[in-house]
Chains A and B, each alone.
Chain A
């Protein structure tokens, strides 16, 4: 046994790492090198460059510093505010509705009374497999205003056709329905994994104490699920704030820009009007909003009993 190896072994007893301080080792640098090459050129640098751009005007490859002009223009643009309101509205309605549905789904999947649970789980999970463009296309067919299945079904019930695409409010509802369809099963599977960690004895002793199904659901299940629900809430909030493919494919932001989301706004500013400075400023505003919301949600989860 060589001296350095013995030394390393001795050190590793006390420390978690297997590092040997006496000799410079190039291996870890070689291990991270390929990752860091791509990472710094295509991720780290763009994030910093984007911040610079948000304070500049970009014209034919030349950037000129313009101070806060982009941010001023952004906050003075009523279309930006409209896109922010639309995104916020979808967020406030969609995330809670989906989490309630997902919790219900997960509870059903967790019940002993249900046979063929694997098959049901598979069915619920299926929407999480389809890519965003494809499912938006399927939804545009099903919700087609003239002869789509949904409107035909509604006419059969005597309700009449719903203007899913030509009315701003209904178009927003359509997007909420679509997003909920795509992500509820996904969240249900996460919540299910949380449900399965709750010991069955808790429910047994609660039922001996005379608690009904509903009481134990609200007094045992929900409090113990809180961390998982918050995790889902944070993920969904981040995802909804980045909504793009659905309004792009399904409604093209219409009618009259009423389903224009923030990312769609940024995309149009960047690649239709090539106002890179304004688009970068918008991207930083969205990132800041996401950071603030995530921060509060994490604080909320720490503040709870868990």
Chain B
């Protein structure tokens, strides 16, 4: 009996360690390869420990690709869309949760419907709209269509529906107007929900690939994923050392965000979705 239990425990650890190794190794190899020379990356047998070539790879990357501009673009686009999505979703979500007004039901159903439709369906019409507005290859095209998300409104409504009505009523009696109630009483209690939505939105925008691929044509407007994908387009000599430096630069902001907001991360990625 005792031996059986020890064996189970051993198997458990073996499984967990194999799983973690598989999960983490690509990250290790990405960081390591970014410090290696091209010849070291593809050596037989492979060089598995970091070397000192990171600065060299970075210099070569900077020379041929606008990597810092792409980092700036990604931060700008993700930052603005995240702040705006959280704010406007909270506003709209509050209205859907705490007011009855004419047209509320059809409006909310349209939000639910669009939330379930795959975004690729909008790709071609959006492309035509961008051409007609003359927004192609600009920040406007990258930012404006993503200022709000149906998911954000849905999440905020679900969170705010349980906010006690008594608090809103007593604030009204104290002479607080609708906007005052929202900003001073409701919004401050919604910080965890806002943080969760902010993380989900930022992550989505950070990884947004197909849209920049469609609307961006000049190198100065590249976002990070787009720039990285252009580095390996067919017909080019791929230099993996520099590509991995770019990958590290793209990953670091997410890692930092995760380490700072770890708690909100898990509740954000899953809280909104698993509740139902």
Contacts and interface: CB of A to CB of B under 8 A. Distances in A.
A177 B2 CA distance: 38
A104 B15 CA distance: 9
B225 A132 contact: yes
Interface string B110-131: 1100101110111111111100
Interface stretch (A11-19, A79-87, A200-208, A218-226): A11-19
Contacts of B250: 131, 134
Nearest to B100: A19
Nearest to B27: A126
B120 to A, nearest CB: 6
B110 A44 contact: yes
A121 to B, nearest CB: 9
Contact of B173 (A5, A42, A113): A5
Nearest to B130: A42
B209 A25 contact: no
Specify which of B110, B114, B172 lies most central, judged by the most chain A CB atoms within 10 Å of its CB.
B172
Interface stretch (B51-59, B60-68, B84-92): B84-92
A32 B95 contact: yes
22 contacts: A12-B165, A28-B95, A34-B148, A35-B89, A53-B124, A61-B132, A129-B251, A129-B255, A129-B258, A133-B225, A137-B228, A141-B29, A147-B42, A147-B43, A147-B44, A190-B274, A228-B274, A242-B120, A249-B232, A267-B210, A276-B124, A280-B121
Contacts of A297: none
Contacts of B206: 131
Nearest to A280: B124
Interface in B166-181: 166, 168-169, 172-173, 178-179
A92 B72 CA distance: 40
Contact of B12 (A46, A113, A189, A284): A113
| A-side interface mostly | helix
Contacts of B188: none
A28 B232 CA distance: 49
A133 to B, nearest CB: 4
B19 A130 contact: no
B33 interface: yes
A151 B9 CA distance: 32
A134 B243 CA distance: 9
Contacts of B269: 128, 186, 189
A283 B120 contact: yes
B101 to A, nearest CB: 4
B44 A9 contact: no
Contacts of B123: 266-267, 270, 279, 283
Interface string B218-238: 000000111011001010000
Contacts of A249: 229, 232
B124 A279 contact: yes
A18 B16 contact: no
Contacts of A141: 29-30, 33, 41, 240, 243-244
Given A39-B111, A114-B12, A193-B270, A123 B254 contact: no
A210 to B, nearest CB: 14
Given A134-B251, A149-B29, A228-B274, A19 B99 contact: yes
Contact of B225 (A38, A45, A134): A134
Which of B42, B121, B232, B234: most chain A CB closer than 10 A?
Answer: B121
Nearest to A284: B121
B122 A124 contact: no
A108 B88 contact: no
Contacts of B153: 35
Given A133-B209, A149-B46, A152-B45, A108 B15 contact: yes
A22 interface: no
A149 B122 CA distance: 40
Given A9-B173, A279-B124, A47 B274 contact: no
B101 A19 contact: yes
B10 to A, nearest CB: 10
Contact of B92 (A36, A111, A242, A284): A36
Contacts of A139: 26
A252 interface: yes
B240 to A, nearest CB: 5
A43 interface: yes
A166 interface: no
A142 B107 CA distance: 48
Q: Which 3 A-B pairs give the minimum distances between C-beta atoms?
A: A131-B207, A31-B95, A46-B125
A159 interface: no
B185 interface: no
